[in-house]
């Protein structure tokens, strides 16, 4: 069975190499129209979402991560944080920061669904994306960036970023374990 939604879900990949061409504002706004329609427990929408496209601010957020990462043994691409030219959000021209309401137990789930909505909508419009979990703590710890610049309240915690931009790579599909998902029935 195929349709455009299924094809879109099956062909999305995390993108870690971006063209520097910025996303048109109307495309970004359409993605955000979809984001806001994400389901959330009791429709609380327990998030604060901030979009960064300003080059200086992107550099400051990345520098914050690099400083925070110094001396830490981090997994994945974050392990290369001290290398020249490193970008925790893979040099994407647009970075979405998602902060979750600390007082709402469902907030991390709701924010995860929001992320998938953003990434699926983005992919359908030809925009690549990647969730950046590794930058959460560094961004949340930097009071100046979190509170003063991003205007994220103290009762919210930054839980991930989402890199967005035109893909400059075509990653192969990563392995999935279908056996983790099972149909259970009394009758065989
Ligand atoms: C919560 C979460 C955190 C992630 N953090 C990072 C990250 O910090 N850096 C990164 O390059 N990819 C990150 N990813 C992307 C995953 O590595 C990727 O989704 C996974 O390897 C599957 O690959 P695919 O998205 O191409 O199917 C994250 C994904 C999720 C859902």
Q: CA angle at residue 161 from 37 to 18, to 5 degrees?
A: 100
* pLDDT of 102 over the 70 cut: yes
Ligand 1 atom closest to the CA of 171, numbered from 1: 26
Average pLDDT along the chain: 97
pLDDT at 48: 98
- In this prediction, residues 15-23 reach a mean pLDDT of 98
Lookup: tokens for 70: 């110094």
Q: How much distance in Å is there from the Cα of 79 to the middle of ligand 1?
A: 14
- In this prediction, residues 42-49 reach a mean pLDDT of 98
129 lines ligand 1 (CB under 6 A): no
pLDDT at 187: 74
Q: What share of the chain is helix, strand, coil (3-state, %, to 5)?
A: 45, 15, 40
* pLDDT of 5 over the 90 cut: yes
* pLDDT of 188 over the 90 cut: no
pLDDT in tens, 125-139: 999 999 999 999 999
* pLDDT of 156 over the 90 cut: yes
* pLDDT of 90 over the 90 cut: yes
139 lines ligand 1 (CB under 6 A): no
Cα(11)–Cα(7) distance, integer angstroms? 6
Measuring from atom 29 of ligand 1, which residue has the nearest CA?
Answer: 131
- In this prediction, residues 152-168 reach a mean pLDDT of 98
| Residue from 100, 133, 165 whose mutation best tests the ligand 1 pocket (most atoms within 8 A of CB) | 133
16 lines ligand 1 (CB under 6 A): yes
Q: Counting beta carbons within 10 angstroms of the beta carbon of residue 37, is it exposed (0 to 12), middle (13 to 18) or buried (19 or more)?
A: exposed
Q: How much distance in Å is there from the Cα of 187 to the middle of ligand 1?
A: 38
| Residue from 12, 110, 132, 137 whose mutation best tests the ligand 1 pocket (most atoms within 8 A of CB) | 132
* pLDDT of 25 over the 90 cut: yes
* pLDDT of 70 over the 90 cut: yes
- In this prediction, residues 136-146 reach a mean pLDDT of 98
Measuring from atom 3 of ligand 1, which residue has the nearest CA?
Answer: 133
- In this prediction, residues 147-171 reach a mean pLDDT of 98
């Amino acid at each position: 069975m195929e349709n455009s939604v299924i094809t879109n879900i099956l062909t999305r990949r995390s993108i870690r190499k971006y063209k520097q061409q910025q996303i048109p504002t109307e495309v970004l706004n359409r993605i955000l129209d979809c984001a806001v329609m994400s389901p959330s427990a009791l429709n609380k929408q327990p998030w604060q979402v901030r979009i960064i496209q300003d080059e200086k601010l992107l550099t400051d957020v990345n520098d914050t991560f690099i400083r925070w990462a110094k001396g830490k043994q981090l997994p994945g691409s974050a392990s290369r944080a001290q290398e020249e030219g490193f970008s925790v959000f893979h040099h994407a021209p647009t970075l979405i920061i998602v902060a979750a309401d600390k007082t709402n137990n469902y907030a991390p789930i709701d924010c995860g669904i929001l992320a998938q909505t953003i990434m699926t909508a983005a992919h359908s419009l030809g925009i690549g994306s990647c969730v950046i979990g590794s930058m959460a703590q560094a961004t949340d710890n930097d009071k100046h960036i979190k509170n003063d610049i991003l205007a994220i309240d103290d009762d919210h915690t930054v839980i991930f970023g989402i890199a967005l931009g035109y893909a400059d790579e075509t990653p192969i599909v990563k392995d999935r374990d279908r056996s983790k998902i099972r149909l259970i029935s009394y009758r065989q």
